[in-house]
Amino acid sequence: MLRRQARERREYMYLKASEARERQIFERKQKIRQLIAEGKSIPKELMDGLQGGDDARNGFGGMGAGAALKVDEAQADVMTSLDSEYARAGTYDPKILITTSRNPSSRLSQFAKEIRLCLPNSTRINRGGYTVGELAAAARSNAMTDMIVLHEHRGLPDAMVVSHFPHGPTLLFTLSGVVLRHEVSAHAQSTVSEQYPHLVFEGFNSKLGSRVMDALRFLFPVPKEDSKRLMTFANQGDYISFRHHVFVKTSHREVQLAEVGPRFEMRPYEIRQGTVEQTDADVEWVLRPFMNSGRKRNQL
């Protein structure tokens, strides 16, 4: 098992190492294609290294320009390891392990239970004295696809870690404004639907936003069309508002929403390329609000 994991990790890291070169070649070809379409001359620095240097620059190595770049006709974008992380998503239901920091308060334990109710096919375990490495090994041995670790400060949930297995990524969020189910007065004593929910994502427009959206939406299985359950992730100013509703169709064109809870705001502040126990993993992105323009620039 350990040898296989090490081999898979080496293959994954090799794929990551070759991405920069493939991306550079792809972008160069796209620039050449755009210049050809506009009828402009192609600069020397763009043609060097493509189809044999001078031959490519003068005549695309004996081929026409369209033939030399035909390989990109079906490519909207270059494939990367980011695509392979969730390549099989949707073909199987995710299995999620949920736990907390050590010695959790009653409020954090209740919050973990409610997160388990929000995520179908999830399992909550007590942290006890287990280390993060032991939890990650247990998740891998039980074919878990993701692990969520909830943290608190003075009894208030304030952070969440979402780690995708087997090779990452790991997303770190801050939490604020946490409201538990029993604090949502309309449905304090109601039961929670176990249907696979529909998902609504609003405001994830950038490349980073798509990255965060993929990590969140692949925590949920594919719902059925007649599901009456709805999860909303609405981004505004890099703060993601989470809401959990059920709805009833009251007429042909109208539905009535009822909030179930919990509700909270989350803000991503770091993305790592490894799993949660790999402290030496490369940092893909980190929030830097202390810079001069950090508070004015929206990331998602």
| CATH number assigned to the domain comprising residue 275 | 3.40.50.10480
Query: Do 158 and 28 share a domain, yes or no?
Result: no
The structure tokens listed for 289 are: 């609000």
Q: How many domains in the chain?
A: 2
Query: Do 35 and 158 share a domain, yes or no?
Result: no
Query: Do 168 and 62 share a domain, yes or no?
Result: no
Assess if residue 55 is contained within a domain: yes
Which of 76, 99, 133 terminates a domain? The answer is 76
Q: State the pLDDT at residue 192.
A: 85
Query: Do 135 and 244 share a domain, yes or no?
Result: yes
> Cα 142 from chain centroid?
22
Query: Do 65 and 180 share a domain, yes or no?
Result: no
Query: Do 265 and 169 share a domain, yes or no?
Result: yes
200 and 230 Cβ atoms separated by less than 8 Å: yes
164 and 85 Cβ atoms separated by less than 8 Å: yes
Q: State the pLDDT at residue 86.
A: 81
Query: Do 104 and 226 share a domain, yes or no?
Result: yes
Distance CA 100, CA 129 (A): 11
Assess if residue 293 is contained within a domain: no
Assess if residue 292 is contained within a domain: no
Which of 41, 76, 111 terminates a domain? The answer is 76
The model's pLDDT over 144-178, given as tens digits with 9 standing for 90+, comes to 999 999 999 999 999 999 999 988 899 999 999 99
pLDDT at 51 over 60: no
The model's pLDDT over 242-279, given as tens digits with 9 standing for 90+, comes to 999 999 888 888 888 889 989 999 999 999 988 999 88
Query: Do 68 and 205 share a domain, yes or no?
Result: no
Cis peptide bond upstream of 197, omega within 30? no
Query: Do 104 and 54 share a domain, yes or no?
Result: no
| Candidate from 14-18, 112-116, 292-296 with smallest mean pLDDT | 292-296
For 227, the domain range is: 84-286
DSSP 10-61: HHHHHHHHTHHHHHHHHHHHHHHHHHHHHTPPPPHHHHTTSSSTHHHHHHST
Q: State the pLDDT at residue 79.
A: 56
pLDDT at 50 over 80: no
Query: Do 57 and 91 share a domain, yes or no?
Result: no
Q: State the pLDDT at residue 85.
A: 75
Q: State the pLDDT at residue 250.
A: 86
- Greater confidence (64 vs 198) lies with 198
Assess if residue 196 is contained within a domain: yes
Query: Do 148 and 36 share a domain, yes or no?
Result: no
Q: State the pLDDT at residue 82.
A: 56
- Greater confidence (293 vs 203) lies with 203
Assess if residue 295 is contained within a domain: no
Grouping H, G, I as helix, E, B as strand and the rest as coil, residue 202 is strand
> Which whole number is the average pLDDT over 92-96?
93
Assess if residue 64 is contained within a domain: yes
Query: Do 94 and 140 share a domain, yes or no?
Result: yes
Assess if residue 114 is contained within a domain: yes
DSSP state of 111: H
242 and 231 Cβ atoms separated by less than 8 Å: yes
Q: State the pLDDT at residue 9.
A: 72
Q: Tell me which residue has tokens 């192609």.
A: 42
Distance CA 36, CA 30 (A): 10
Which of 13, 45, 76 terminates a domain? The answer is 76
Assess if residue 241 is contained within a domain: yes
